[in-house]
Amino acid sequence: MPIRPAPRVAEPEVCSPVTCKDCGIYGLCREVNGPDVDLRLLETIVRNRKLFKRGELLYRVGEPLRAVYAIRSGSIKSYVVTNDGRVQITGFHITGEVLGLGALVANQYMSEARALETTMVCEVPVDVLEAYSVEVPSIRQQMLKIMSQEILDNQELMLLLGKKNSDERLATFLLSLSRRFQRRSYSPTQFNLSMSRSDIGNYLGMAEETVCRVFTRFQDDGLLATERRQVKLLDQDRLKSIARI
Amino acid sequence: MPIRPAPRVAEPEVCSPVTCKDCGIYGLCREVNGPDVDLRLLETIVRNRKLFKRGELLYRVGEPLRAVYAIRSGSIKSYVVTNDGRVQITGFHITGEVLGLGALVANQYMSEARALETTMVCEVPVDVLEAYSVEVPSIRQQMLKIMSQEILDNQELMLLLGKKNSDERLATFLLSLSRRFQRRSYSPTQFNLSMSRSDIGNYLGMAEETVCRVFTRFQDDGLLATERRQVKLLDQDRLKSIARI
DNA sequence: GACTTTCACTGACTTAGATCAACCAAACAG
DNA sequence: CTGTTTGGTTGATCTAAGTCAGTGAAAGTC
């Protein structure tokens, strides 16, 4: 049996709320706060803060679109369900990201969304969003950009599920999270996973046990250090070559 | 070795073009041909027929959106490619279906599309489409409906790739094709597969050989009859229970 | 603080499906 | 018409990852 050092990593940092600058709808807020526009959107958004506890539902598939959500702090999972009850997680959303925009197409939510931990969101009612997307053209642009990123993310997940092995899947997952934390001004090398091993396995199409084993092997190989949900990436280059990014 | 009867199936029917009534953009054509609108859209569409031979490319990922396509006859595959060259087919499109609408979000194509056989399409230039979607509100509705179906199809594929075994995958695939042929007024029980076993395997995330083996087993079990690309579904109920639909 | 539940991890074993290799039939090219 | 290529099928073998079972640690709960 190989000796594994099981290196300690720092305590989880307090989950601080994102600044508006790092928020996915900052573009929207900034636009309506330009020289010639009033503060109504920002005010509406700021007034509509909502808190979801771990496990609470934001919306269900098929429900009429009420609002889209920007995550100020915390994290959320999106998933779809078969008629025989099997679940496929289709995305994790972290602080600063926006979800629910896919619902704009059909005017109803296309998936279910559930908080992974205590999560504070800015709720943007759809009528407010639509009114402003008419008044301020670049809001429309911003929304389309987020929606097209959603399509690309889905395609990337299809590729991962259809064509990658377990090592590639987990490496891809960790590097994607890393990149997204960096974009929101968090550390790209050290972060806390708010989802369970089981959720990761579900998302990546592998068994929970396999997720654990790959984590352990990556740790043995000096690629990263983990302690439960705290992760420290030690060799991003090698992870990239494993993920084939 | 079990004796397999290898039942004969009828010759492939001639691939006849879809009637406008069965076409995915019929709603659009009909709208602009209502009592108070002129014939410009239909004329534009009918004038812009294009023929693609097997293997020819309709568009590449990243190319600026020029037009969307309605298939009059033939079939097309959409796919995405990793930077190391692996391919994941994300959809097959048959006669009567519309493709390219996903590109409206980012104003550029999100995947590559290639003809599986000699394929006749109605090309709808994006400026024509946009002009009419302003004039005729229900065209916008029709487009949104097709786009939301695309999102749902992607989610279904993620679920299939992440959570289903080989039998479920192939049964799901065949029943999905069957339903779509039926919608376009073709036989739901007997049809021609325009894609190779290798393409089916790629789409469903399984090896070509596994696709063959499952076809053979389904045939042995009396669920269907195949001869190369010609398929006859013999027991849709049992297929449904396998697919868990 | 004791009890229960949940979660992460590990080992032993099994298996679905991949890979490798070969063959045949149809389609195609000259 | 003949040689060549492509696509579909099958058998033999291998292996990556799933399943089952058990343990310990952490996090809730009363």
Task: State whether B105 and A147 contact (CB < 8 Å).
Answer: yes
The Cα A173–Cα A110 span in angstroms is 23
pLDDT digits (tens, 9 = 90+) for A85-113: 899 999 999 988 899 999 998 999 999 99
Tell me the mean pLDDT in the region A226-243: 95
Q: How far is the CA of B36 from the C1' of D21 (A)?
A: 72
Query: Smallest Cβ distance to A80: which of B155, B161, B203?
Result: B155
How long, in residues, is chain B? 245
Residue found by looking up tokens 């790209």 in the block: A188
Residue A230 above 80 pLDDT?
yes
Q: What are the C-alpha distances in Å from B24 to residues A30, B149, B196?
A: 40, 12, 25
B157 touches strand C (CB under 7 A): no
Which residues in B30-52 are b (16+ Cβ under 10 Å) and which e?
bbbeeeeeeeebbebbeeeeeeb
Q: How far is the CA of B198 from the C1' of D1 (A)?
A: 31
DSSP B88-151: EEEEEEETT-EE-TTHHHHTB-SSEEEESSSEEEEEEEHHHHHHHHHH-HHHHHHHHHHHHHHH
For residue A179, count other CB atoms closer than 10 A to its CB: 11
| Nearest CA among B214, B157, B174 for reference residue A162 | B157
Here the tokens at position B209 are 């050989």
Minimum distance, in Å, between the CA of residue A4 and any CA atom of chain B: 32
For A173, phi then psi, to 5°, come to -60, -50
A117 touches strand C (CB under 7 A): no
pLDDT at A197: 96
- Band of residue A2 on the pLDDT scale cut at 50, 70, 90: very low
Window from A49-58, A60-69, B25-34, B89-98 with minimum mean pLDDT: B25-34
**CA A94 remoteness from chain centre:** 4
